[in-house]
Every structure is written in structure tokens, then in C-alpha cells.
């Protein structure tokens, strides 16, 4: 629980800085209701989701709370690419919301749509974690837990539903912040950033997890059914 609370505090502080920092840089003020709503939404999802997982699957909660140990240079570079892409996305979202408004929407429409899309992304992630007890932060074969191929729930549709949930999550977050452009760009930008990570994961699982190659042949979509 202590590790969970520390991780929650660090994550919330980081998201707050990424959302409210650019707002202060652009306007000299932290008075951005949509920004605070986005931070609050993230905190609620992370806190409630973490408590829920620790209650229904303590082994998964412990696995995800462990500090990842990258095995190769690619393991180190792939998360860095994701982090840089997310950092850039937050900056673009704030710039568009406060200055550009490239694709303006009525405030009520963007807010309601954003909250619904954000909730959908959280739901996909929650469904993934509920289905796959082996969803560690860094892919490794968890022999001590008798890891097996998971092909039910969202895994019957795509091979990486967690990343799909993240793409939807960020799309909703962009709309909550008031940037339709950032909301539309999120799935493409975040999806592209995940590609190296997906390649590493699939190579590891195909090599070390019995039955994964067969699963790949049955479920062709990596992220979006019928598209990719």
C-alpha cells in the first residue's frame, strides 16, 4: 500500500505538471478549470483503479508495483520514446487549447465527449487488467506464476488492448482539455510511440511463451481490429 500511495502521488504530480505547467507558461496562471478537471479525472481513475486491482488480483498489483528492470538497450529506449511523445502531446494540447483552437467545438460538446471517451479508455484498461493477470509493466515470462497465453476478453480482439485503452484515454483527455486537435492526434501519436514497445513484447512472448505464436496467427490485430 505504501508503494501504491507513493506511486500515485508521483504520477499525479507528474500529470499535474504536464497539464498545468504549460498553462502557467502560456497564461502566467494555474487558473484553468479544464486542466484541473483533467488532473482530477486522472487521479480518480488511478486511485480507484489501483485499489480495485489490489483487491481483485493482489499478484498483479504486486507485479505492476515492482520497479521495472529493462533487459536490453531497446527495452530502455522504447519507454523513452513513449515518454517523449506523451510530453510533446501535452504541450501541443495546452498550446492548442489556450492559443490556436485549430478545430473549435462547443465547450459542452467537447467536455461531455471528452469525459465519455476518457471513461471508455479507462474501461478498456480495467477490462484488460481484469482479464490478464500477467500484465506487467515490462514483459517477462512469469514462470513462478505459471504464465499462459491470454486470449479471452479484449485479447480476443486485439493483441495489445492496454495500449488501445491508452490511445482512447489520451483522446478523451485532449477533449477534456478543450483541444479537439489533440484529441484526434492522440491515437495516432500515442499508437506510433507504442510500436517499438509492441515489437519488443511480441518478440519476447513469441520466443519464450508457449502458444503465443499460434495466438498471433489467430488474432491478427495489434491495436485496432480490422485496421492494425
The closest of 83, 74, 81 to 203, measured between CA atoms, is 74
Per-residue pLDDT tens digits for 28-81 = 899 999 999 999 999 999 999 989 998 988 888 877 776 666 667 777 788 899
89-113 pLDDT per residue, tens: 999 999 999 999 999 999 999 999 9
Count Cα atoms within 13 angstroms, Cβ side, for 61. 19
Distance CA 74, CA 66 (A): 20
Q: Decide if 226 is inside a domain.
A: no
Asked whether residue 46 is domain-assigned, the answer is yes
Report the pLDDT value the prediction gives residue 147, as an integer from 0 to 100.
84
Q: Would you say residue 100 lies in a domain?
A: yes
Beta carbons of 222 and 159 less than 8 angstroms apart: yes
The confidence band for 185, taking pLDDT boundaries of 50, 70 and 90, is very high
Kindly state the cell numbers that stand for 152: 479471452
> Which pLDDT score, from 0 to 100, does residue 180 have?
96
Check the CA dihedral 139-143-144-150 and report its sign. Answer: positive
DSSP codes of every residue in 164-186: HHHHHHHHHHHHHTT-HHHHHHH
- Domain for residue 29, yes or no? yes
- Res 145: pLDDT: 63
- pLDDT band at 196, cuts 50/70/90? very high
State the Cα–Cα distance between residues 224 and 214, nearest whole angstrom: 19
Cα separation, 214 vs 62, in Å, equals 29
**Please, what is the Cα angle at 218 between 160 and 133, to 5 degrees?**
40
C-alpha closest to that of 82 among 177, 208, 209, 199:
199
Nearest C-alpha neighbor of 186 from the set 164, 173, 170? 170
Domain of 186, CATH number, reads 1.20.120.1630
What's the confidence (pLDDT) of residue 173?
97
Task: Tell the residue number behind the cell numbers 485549430, with chain if given.
Answer: 102
Examine residue 227 and state whether it is found in any structural domain, yes or no.
no
If one counts the domains in the chain, the total is 1
94 assigned to some structural domain: yes
Range of the domain at 148: 2-218
Distance of CA 157 to the CA centre of its chain: 18
pLDDT of residue 143: 56
Per-chain mean pLDDT for the chain? 90
> Does 186 map to a domain?
yes
Whole-angstrom distance, CA of residue 98 vs CA of residue 175: 13
Band of residue 3 on the pLDDT scale cut at 50, 70, 90: confident
Residue 66 in domain = yes
Predicted pLDDT at 125: 96
For 122-154, what is each residue's pLDDT tens digit? 999 999 999 998 887 667 665 566 789 999 999
Amino acid at each position: 500500500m505504501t508503494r501504491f500511495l507513493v506511486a500515485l502521488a508521483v504520477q499525479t504530480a507528474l500529470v499535474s505538471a504536464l497539464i498545468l505547467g504549460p498553462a502557467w507558461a502560456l497564461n502566467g496562471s494555474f487558473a484553468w478549470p479544464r486542466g484541473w478537471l483533467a488532473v482530477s479525472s486522472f487521479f480518480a481513475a488511478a486511485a480507484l483503479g489501483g485499489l480495485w486491482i489490489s483487491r481483485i488480483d493482489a499478484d498483479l498489483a504486486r507485479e505492476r508495483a515492482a520497479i521495472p528492470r529493462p533487459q536490453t538497450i531497446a527495452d530502455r529506449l522504447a519507454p523513452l520514446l513513449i515518454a517523449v511523445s506523451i510530453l510533446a502531446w501535452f504541450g501541443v494540447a495546452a498550446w492548442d487549447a489556450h492559443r490556436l483552437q485549430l478545430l473549435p467545438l462547443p465547450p459542452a460538446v467537447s467536455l461531455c465527449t471528452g469525459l465519455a471517451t476518457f471513461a471508455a479508455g479507462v474501461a478498456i484498461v480495467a477490462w484488460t487488467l481484469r482479464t490478464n493477470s500477467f500484465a506487467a509493466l515490462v514483459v517477462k515470462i512469469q514462470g513462478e506464476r505459471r504464465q499462459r497465453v491470454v486470449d479471452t476478453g479484449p485479447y480476443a480482439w486485439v493483441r495489445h488492448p492496454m495500449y488501445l485503452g491508452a490511445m482512447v484515454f489520451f483522446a478523451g483527455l485532449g477533449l477534456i482539455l478543450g483541444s479537439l486537435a489533440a484529441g484526434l492526434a492522440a491515437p495516432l501519436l500515442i499508437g506510433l510511440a507504442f510500436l517499438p514497445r509492441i515489437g519488443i513484447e511480441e518478440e519476447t512472448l513469441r520466443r519464450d511463451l508457449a502458444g503465443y505464436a499460434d495466438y498471433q496467427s489467430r488474432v491478427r490485430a495489434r491495436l485496432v481490429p480490422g485496421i492494425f
